[in-house]
Amino acid sequence: MKGSIGCSQMFQTEHKFTLPMGYVDEDGLLHRTGTMRLARAADEILPLADLRVEKNPAYLLVLLLSRVIVNLGQVRQITPKTVEDLFSEDLAYLQAFFNEINGVNRRRAAHRCPKCSHEHTMDSAPLGELSATP
């Protein structure tokens, strides 16, 4: 377990995963297990300034995952190219895993209008989940 809150309370900041299919590197080696860390604000914000995201908003997921995946099998430096080379099933798995470990779920929240006091519910979309990406 890594990370801490205060002096005595610890929480898990890195989580292990196993890809359904696996990443095949340039040498033909298969890598299925890895570690993903919790996302920080910068992980969500900084990729938004990338020109690749401006041209294709779905690319945000590639950049985001390349920032939070700590390792993948024997691969220690995860780049956007690494994520681009994943099978679609593995990309979908990692997106769902990201949302799960970061406590990001589609949920409805109650809100009260400050002007008329009318109560209504609103959907809150998960961070890291793009409408362009299934």
Output the DSSP codes for 60-126.
Answer: HHHHHHHHHEEEETTB-S--HHHHHTS-HHHHHHHHHHHHHHTT---EEEEEE-TTT--EEEEEEPP
pLDDT tens, per residue, the chain with 134 residues: 555 555 556 789 999 999 999 999 999 999 999 999 999 999 999 999 999 999 999 999 999 999 999 999 999 899 999 999 999 999 999 999 999 999 887 554 565 667 677 665 554 554 444 443 43
